[in-house]
A = this chain, B = another copy of it.
Amino acid sequence: MTSKTKRVGLLTGGGDCPGLNAVIRAVTKDLLRTHIEVVGIEDGFLGLIEGRMRPLGYDQVSSILAVGGTILGSSNKANPAKFATELDEHGEPIWRDVTQQCLEHAEANGLEGLVVIGGDGTHACAMPFVEAGLPCIGIPKTIDNDVYGTDVSFGFSTAVQVVSDAIDRLRTTADSHHRALVLEVMGRNAGWIALAGGLAGGADVILIPEHPFRVDRVVDKVERRIKRGRRSTIVVVSEGAKAMGQGPMVRRLDPTSPDPIKFGGIGAWLADEISTHSSVDARNVVLGHLQRGGTPVAFDRVLSTRFGHHAAKLWNQNVHNRMVAVQADRMVDVPIDESAGKQRLVPLDHELIAAARSVWTDFG
């Protein structure tokens, strides 16, 4: 007969994502229900390194479902396997492996396991603890929706809603002034937010990292729309989308030209290209952190609660070192290192791309 884990540490790592608090609440309430204590570790793995943690009870989590951000704080860079607090004589950081120090803090606080909410970077940080015999459960967090192993994660739907709302706002301005509007959204390697958000907002052009685009085709589309009497063109572009091709259209992508990122990002660059090469005035909006914060939409609150419940269930079943996931709309779990080094990109034959093309959206 196995004995149940009695005290678990919980941390959130990486960038902000709507629904983090909803997961914290669900994990905590569910574990408390089965008499497992929950300890919140502050600022991701940094808190584990520095021994900063505090008990989480009903009072700490009962009002946080609708609150954006994470009550535990997060940190992007604290990796126990490679951590620096000092610089050498050349000003370079002196990297050390502080895993043992973390394990001591865990033991001192009576932690018999960890629930780690984060992206693949955060889950990778958990592996040394798994190997050292401290069981871990991973919960995927990825606003870009690019964590391998799960079809979807919390926060993504909220980001898509923010994009859709933004397009609703921008469309009327674009119409009033016969303009093109370029909306730059999150997505360094994966275009899910641009694709779903653009589809929801009725964008005329969607540009994603998986499909390098031709600027001349975007300009053509803008011109064709004007000729047919359309009042405006809305372009949604992932921050990581890339232009390709030859000729004056992409001269700014030449090594001797300003880099689009330095130019202020792909959106600013593209708006400038359209203004320069078409008869239409183009403007640019970068949504940036507006996609990360704020209260999660209902879908993400439900998904966060399902994730939290599944993680707690695994603890209660003594199933360890798994990442909870959604596959084909069902809650499942996969090895915690499943997503290591992989990314979930948009396949170019994806049904959403076909759906977008069916309502006359171009992909450049």
CB of A320 within 8 A of chain B? Answer: no
Contact B351 A151 (CB under 8 A): no
A358 within 8 A of B: yes
A84 sits at the interface (CB 8 A): no
Q: Answer yes or no: A188 CB below 8 A from chain B CBs.
A: no
A170 close to chain B: CB less than 8 A: yes
Interface locus among A130-138, A196-204, A213-221, A333-341: A196-204
Please, what's the 1-or-0 string for A258-283, where 1 marks a CB less than 8 Å from any CB in chain B?
A: 00000010001000000000000001
Since A70-B176, A285-B286 are in contact, a sample of 9 more A-B pairs with Cβ atoms closer than 8 Å, ordered by chain A residue number, is A25-B359, A68-B172, A168-B294, A181-B289, A197-B298, A202-B301, A264-B268, A283-B288, A328-B330
**Is B68's CB under 8 angstroms from A173's CB?**
yes
Instruction: Tell me the smallest distance from the CB of A175 to a CB of chain B, in Å.
Output: 5
- A322 on interface, CB distance cutoff 8 Å: no
Nearest Cβ in chain B — how far from A41, in angstroms?
Answer: 14
Instruction: Note all chain B residues with C-beta closer than 8 A to A309.
Output: 354-355, 358-359
Asked if B169 and A293 sit within 8 Å, CB to CB, the answer is yes
Determine the distance from Cα of A200 to Cα of B66 in the docked complex, in whole angstroms: 9
> What are 27 A-B contacts defined by CB distance under 8 Å?
A15-B177, A16-B173, A16-B176, A20-B176, A25-B359, A26-B355, A26-B358, A29-B358, A29-B359, A29-B360, A30-B358, A62-B230, A68-B171, A70-B176, A76-B177, A160-B299, A162-B169, A164-B301, A166-B290, A171-B293, A199-B305, A201-B298, A283-B288, A305-B358, A305-B359, A309-B359, A328-B330
Query: What residues of B have a CB within 8 angstroms of the CB of A306 in the complex?
Result: 351-352, 355
Kindly list chain B residues whose C-beta atoms are within 8 Å of the C-beta of A331.
351
Q: How far is the CA of A69 from the CA of B202 in the complex (A)?
A: 17
Which residues of B are found within 8 Å of A163, using beta-carbon distances?
A: 298
Residue from B166, B175, B200, B312 in contact with A301 in the complex, judged by beta carbons closer than 8 Å: B200
Contact status A302-B352, CB under 8 Å: yes
Least CB separation from A297: chain B residue: B161
**A122 close to B (CB within 8 Å):** no
Question: Out of B66, B157, B355, which one reaches A202, CB within 8 Å?
Answer: B66
Q: Which of B175, B298, B328, B359 contacts A329 (CB 8 A)?
A: B328
Asked if residues A69 and B173 are in contact (CB atoms below 8 Å), the reply is yes
A67 at interface, CB cutoff 8 A: yes
| CA distance in complex: A66, B62 (Å) | 18
**A211 contacts partner chain B, Cβ-Cβ < 8 Å:** no
Whether, in the assembled complex, A292 has its beta carbon less than 8 Å from a beta carbon of chain B, the answer is: yes
Report the minimal beta-carbon distance from A347 to chain B, rounded to whole angstroms: 14
Min CB–CB distance A285 → chain B (angstroms): 5
Is A33 an interface position by the 8 A CB rule? yes
Closest CB in chain B relative to A294 CB, distance in Å:
4
A39 within 8 A of B: no
List residues 32-65 of chain A with CB under 8 A from any CB of chain B.
Answer: 33, 43, 62, 65
> In the complex, which of the residues B26, B196, B197, B290 contacts A359, with contact meaning CB atoms closer than 8 Å?
B26
CA of A15 to CA of B173, assembled, Å: 8
> With A74-B176, A173-B68 given, is the CB distance from A286 to B283 under 8 Å?
no
Given the known interface contacts A168-B66, A305-B358, A360-B29, the answer about A285 and B289 at a Cβ–Cβ threshold of 8 Å is yes
In the bound complex, residues from chain B placing their C-beta under 8 Å from that of A172 are 16, 67-69, 293-294
Report the Cα distance A286→B65, complex, angstroms: 23
Pick the 10 closest A-B CB pairs, nearest first: A69-B172, A68-B172, A169-B294, A200-B298, A173-B293, A69-B176, A164-B298, A328-B328, A30-B358, A309-B358
